[in-house]
Structure 1
């Protein structure tokens, strides 16, 4: 036994021995991360085997680069390559824990747009065991520095290095062959990054994503007007039918789009310890003049909030990777809600209590035609750190301060109000938190009801102001949840919240419902059970306002109130929900009962047809965005947006508002004799009440 270990130790003191050691330790570290840090869904023995071997081909290829060199340089090149790969693994562990997805080049490039207060989020995301991915590197460096492993200065034969490169590439092709045999169309038809990592590996995913990013850059250059024909043909063949009952019902009314951050449908009427978590939103949801949709789903991908905004304002999907607002918001041509409404006599404004670079809003909103954007610099209270939490100004303070600008907007206006306090990691100080945490045992989840309750209180205060200021009865108020607040990685906690022993893929698909409500005076409200998603919001709002979009605008959603909706709800990963079927991967559930189905031949045909529809509409949307196809088409009566028309600086905006009070005295403040209505806003925010 002693001789065996002596021989093994001698082998480790060779370049080849160290190469094998560092490759194996990195390989096993990555595989353990796959099993413990990600939810890749390796179900069958072949999938388990592929997931086990897939870190190895690129490890051999990248570590093998050092074999072309000799001595100390070769050893430290291997360590540096290991450090780079492991850091990529570590970064994805943190990102995946919160977003259930992997980092993309677009996300990394756009990280400056979303890194505000990121340290707080990282503190909540990071687990001590995450740092263990670096343990093998630390040990190897110590072994080298203490010379327990000695550097072999003898050069390897070049043909051995070449052989290792060829072998690793061949191994990579074997992995790919096994993968596409188990999952046909892996790189051509999938919309889910989990599949790529499960089958090919995290490094291969990075390479594929880099290729996709490059393709996006070149696709715009190659696009032509004829590329739009397929989109127009799809819209012609998939009409939603007329909306006779509601079309034009709210014509000329003000429009509020109230953005509920990370707010899920299950919170509606949800009680904890006998208390309603969101009593104000519940009352709004059940109001006799509120159209509420209980089968409405978010459809976001990596872009999260930015994807939701993209769909709500444009009726175009976000991208499968990255954020369309970051990648294309500055350069693309859009025909978005703000521009459409501005050309129908509306004043358009967006309000958000953080910096304009967040999700590239400062540029994107100009492309969308927002006349005003009130961001963090407009809110003096945002300068005090204690008034902020997570990603911006606390909701109660933000909403109260926002009415200072809302009251100055000439009517009719279109105003989007974006809340942020109900955002991961769901932190609130004791002075703001007056609702008990849940007891799921998951620290990420248990604070969710606390911040949701705070958001609800802020919403209630805002609605009360609208009533006092005379805006409630003269406005169409749209309220929606932008995306999930609790990711699918928290299954035990989700089960406990829902009162279940466990949750399956069907439960998680239903968990993606978010509220969508439209309150309008004179409209007979009620809960509508039609199936739809964020892609359908804009056509619904436009029809209520009497602005015909069918046959003119490129909108891929359908009016939720139309008579002949197809009710197919595509998810960005290619799965979908209809009133009949819920498809998650290869599993199909009965939507009504939640039972896993064994499909008949007829049912298989219908599911295949629905899947083809989903793939088609997602693909067409991606072409519109990545190829900037709207630059080739201008709807009848629409004037192209000129971004140079907009200036969101504080001085220019305030000067413009002052001038508008004289030229178009239709604002709430103008009708109040030029006096502010801010005193009508009542809040219990301690930051604003303690000085009174």
Structure 2
């Protein structure tokens, strides 16, 4: 054994084994990959081997003692990649892609979140590096300065390719069309491994970048035919009822619908929002089966979907990756058709998520960012301006806007890691062992109080009565990494179906002069907001490329797709290859032909949306003879 360790190939073998075991251990401890059955468990154990043989094997071409140093450096680099994914996964339940790595300008604002996601046991992930450094210094004196014969590293690389081929074959046998239908990154990591997934993602990113070059007007015709087939006729009772009214759109950061009517320590967490839902005069219509449909872009995805009725990208954020695309967004449409002015108000940096560029492509007239607000230390926490001073200061900008206007106000305080000053917390934290979950209810209460204050300010400013007020949640606040604590809070097991049900976010709307419906149980999602709003303003949504349908229409399509290919309907839910009955919560062992057809429709719809985004297909589409494309050069968001 001592003789084996003392050789270059022996040292390589030890590095490979440590890498293999470390990666597999992290798979089991840090990631919830949904491993089922012996084959998937075997593949999870096997898949680090192929990438290890190839990536570590490359270092064997080095000369002399450089082999050992470069093996250690490679081990460090692979460890850093793995650890970055651990931290990313703890919040997002997802893996880093090339697209997200290109969004590094956003990471600077994530300092508090990243630190809170680190744990003391993470230091154990450095043990292999320490062992290798000590071992290398013990044995390097026995190594010659000559290179290892070329056939040895070539054999190692060939073994890596062979192992990957076997791995892929077994994966395809267990999960057919794994690479063709790669909506779910958990599946790719489970079957192929995290480093092979990164290689796959890099290739896919290169492929998608060529789609714009190869796209032509025939491609948008296929999409147009689909959206016109899906189109839902407007409800005559609602068509045009909001024409000429101001639109105030309020973004509830990380707010999930289970908070509505939820009590903690015997207190309502969100008493003001609850009062809107249960208002006896029924000013608002509350959609209690409304779901977020975001992916890696989270808030940016929600903005994209709710202003364009197109899905976010499967990897990364369109705000960053497709910021130069041609868009035919809601604010641009109503600006051209009905003379609306538009603004986004957000107490954060203007370049975060590339907003100062993509908003120009959306045709948004004004962007009130951190330069317009008092960002003194007392007013800022975590990601930016606290919600109460944000709403208080925003009133003056709304009063200055030319009417009718479309104003999108984005809150921030209820964002991971859900930080709030003790003196501003009016609700005691939850009492689990999970700080994230405990704090979530306190920041949600703060947001609720800020919203009540804002409503009072709107009324005092004379802007409440004659404005459409739309309130929505952008994405989940509590990921499935916190299921154990959430089970304590909710008093029930968080099954995959239950977790999907928790992806409901609020959507409620007040239309001046129109009595609200109270609670509407229609199944809908963020993709449906643009066609709904267009019809309320008396603009026929059929003219535009929209993936959603009017939520007030009798013909509304009540299936809700999610970015990974899963979806929910009134009667059943499809999750990761399994169909569930929504009433009984049981697995449907033999799905009907209609269920299978619905799955194919969802996948087709997601694919068409991706073609629009990757191919920038809207540059080929003219909604009507009067349409004028947005001139991005006519917008500037610098404070005068």
Aligned partner of 2:74 among 69, 81, 98: 81
Going from structure 1 to structure 2, the CA distance change for 1:28 and 1:152 (only over 3 Å counts) comes to: farther
Separation (CA, whole Å) in 2 of partners of 1:404 and 1:239: 39
SS of corresponding position for 2:249: strand
Which SS does the other structure have where 1:486 is aligned? coil
Work out the CA distance in 2 between the residues paired with 1:109 and 1:479: 31
Name 1:248's counterpart in structure 2. 240
Structure 1 position 114, deviation (Å): 4.2
Contact 2:238/2:535 (<8 A) preserved: yes
Q: Deviations over 1:509-563 (max 9, x none)?
A: 100000000112222211111101000011111111111111x100110011111
- 1:632-671 to structure 2, matched below 5 A, reads 632-636=620-624, 637-651=626-640
Task: Pick from 321, 330, 334 the counterpart of residue 327 of structure 1.
Answer: 321
Question: In structure 1, what is the equivalent of residue 99 of structure 2?
Answer: 106
Q: Is the Cα–Cα contact under 8 Å of residues 583 and 589 in structure 1 kept in the other structure?
A: yes
Quick check: 266-275 or 105-114, which moved more? 105-114
Contact 1:289–1:520 under 8 Å retained in 2: yes
CA distance in 1, matches of 2:571, 2:254: 27
Q: Distance in 2 between matches of 1:211 and 1:196?
A: 14
Q: Say yes or no: does 1:303 pair with 2:289.
A: no
| 1:293 maps to 2:287 | yes
Give distance in 2, aligned partners of 1:21 and 1:421. Answer: 48
Aligned ranges 1:442-457 → 2 under 5 Å? 442-457=434-449
- Quick one: structure 1 residues 430 and 621, their matched pair in 2 at CA, closer, same or farther if it must change by over 3 Å? same
Q: Which residue in the other structure is 1:26 paired with?
A: 19
Q: What TM-score results when the alignment is normalised by the length of structure 1?
A: 0.90
Partner residue, 1:13: 6
1:179 maps to what in 2?
171
5+ unaligned residues in a row in structure 1: which ranges?
Answer: 1-7, 652-692
User: What corresponds to 2:568 in structure 1?
Assistant: 577
The worse-fitting range, judged by mean Cα deviation, of 198-207 and 107-116 is: 107-116
Q: In 2, distance between residues paired with 1:436 and 1:483?
A: 24
The answer to whether the Cα contact below 8 Å between 2:383 and 2:413 also exists between their aligned partners in 1 is yes
Report the Cα distance in structure 2 between the residues aligned to 1:151 and 1:253, rounded to whole angstroms. 80
Cα distance in 1 between the residues matched to 2:347 and 2:277 = 25
Shift of 1:467: 1.2
Aligned-residue offset at 1:113:
2.6
Residue 488 of structure 2 corresponds to: 496
Checking the alignment, whether the CA contact within 8 Å between 1:15 and 1:152 is kept in structure 2 is no
Q: Per-residue displacement from partner, 1:662-681 (whole Å, max 9, x unpaired)?
A: xxxxxxxxxxxxxxxxxxxx
8 A contact 2:395–2:458 mirrored in 1: no
8 Å contact from structure 2 (residues 5, 139) kept in 1: no
Report whether the alignment pairs 1:414 with 2:414. no
1:46 maps to which residue? 39
- Deviation of 1:242 after TM superposition, in Å, equals 3.0
- Secondary structure of the 2:540 match is coil
1:505 maps onto 2:486 in alignment: no
Contact 1:294–1:527 (8 Å) recurs in 2 = yes
Q: State yes or no: 1:275 paired with 2:267.
A: yes
**Are the aligned partners of 2:230 and 2:549 in contact in 1 as well (CA < 8 Å)?**
no
Aligned residue for 1:71, secondary structure, equals: coil
Indicate which of 158, 162, 168 corresponds to 2:160. 168
Deviation track 1:429-458 (CA, whole Å, cap 9, x = no partner) reads 112112111112211111000000000000
Output aligned runs, 1:566-605, within 5 Å: 566-599=557-590, 603-605=591-593
Name the counterpart of 2:613: 625
Tell me which of 198, 209, 212 is aligned to 1:206. Answer: 198
Partner of 1:317: 311
Q: 2:519 corresponds to which residue?
A: 527
Instruction: Measure the CA separation in 1 of the matches of 2:589 and 2:167.
Output: 31
SS state at 1:349 partner:
strand
Aligned with 2:288: secondary structure? Answer: strand
Secondary structure class of the residue paired with 1:477:
strand
SS in 2 for 1:301: coil
Match of 2:380 in 1: 388
Pick from 602, 609, 612 the counterpart of residue 614 of structure 1.
Answer: 602
TM-superposed deviation, 1:237: 2.0
From the superposition, tell whether residues 114 and 363 of structure 1 become closer, same or farther in structure 2 (CA, over 3 Å). farther
Change (3 A) 1:103 1:149: farther
Task: Say whether the 8 Å CA contact 2:234–2:535 is kept in structure 1.
Answer: no
Cα pair 1:13 1:152 within 8 Å, conserved: no
Distance of 2:551 and 2:447 partners within structure 1: 26
Distance in 1 (CA, whole Å) between partners of 2:588 and 2:196 is 34
In the TM superposition, what whole-angstrom CA distance separates every residue of 1:390-449 from its partner, at most 9, and x where no partner exists?
A: 211000011111112111001110000000100000011112112111112211111000
What's the offset of the Cα at 1:149? 7.8
Contact persistence 1:341–1:348 (CA under 8 A):
no
Call closer, same or farther: CA 1:610–1:149 in 2, change over 3 Å: farther
3-state DSSP class of the match of 2:314?
A: coil
Distance in 2 (alpha carbons) for counterparts of 1:398 and 1:593: 44
Give distance in 2, aligned partners of 1:293 and 1:547.
22
Bigger mean CA deviation after superposition, 296-305 or 517-526: 517-526
- For residue 469 of structure 1, the aligned residue among 443, 451, 461 is 461
Deviations 1:593-633 (A, max 9, x none): 3222222xxx4311111101110110000000110000001
Q: Deviations over 1:130-151 (max 9, x none)?
A: 2322220122112223558854
1:357 maps to which residue?
351
Instruction: Answer whether contact 1:582 1:591 (CA < 8 A) is retained.
Output: yes
Q: Deviations over 1:3-58 (max 9, x none)?
A: xxxxx111101011000000000110000000000001111110000000101101
Q: 1:206 to 1:149 in 2, by over 3 A?
A: farther
- Paired residue secondary structure (2:250): strand
Q: Distance in 1 between matches of 2:249 and 2:294?
A: 18
Partner SS for 1:479? strand
Partner SS state of residue 485, structure 2: helix
Contact 2:89 2:95 in 1 (8 A): yes
1:216 Cα deviation from its structure 2 partner: 1.8
Q: CA–CA distance in 1 between the matches of 2:487 and 2:598?
A: 29
- The CA deviation string for residues 193-246 of structure 1, in whole angstroms up to 9 with x for no partner, is 000000001111111111111112111111101111211111122222331121
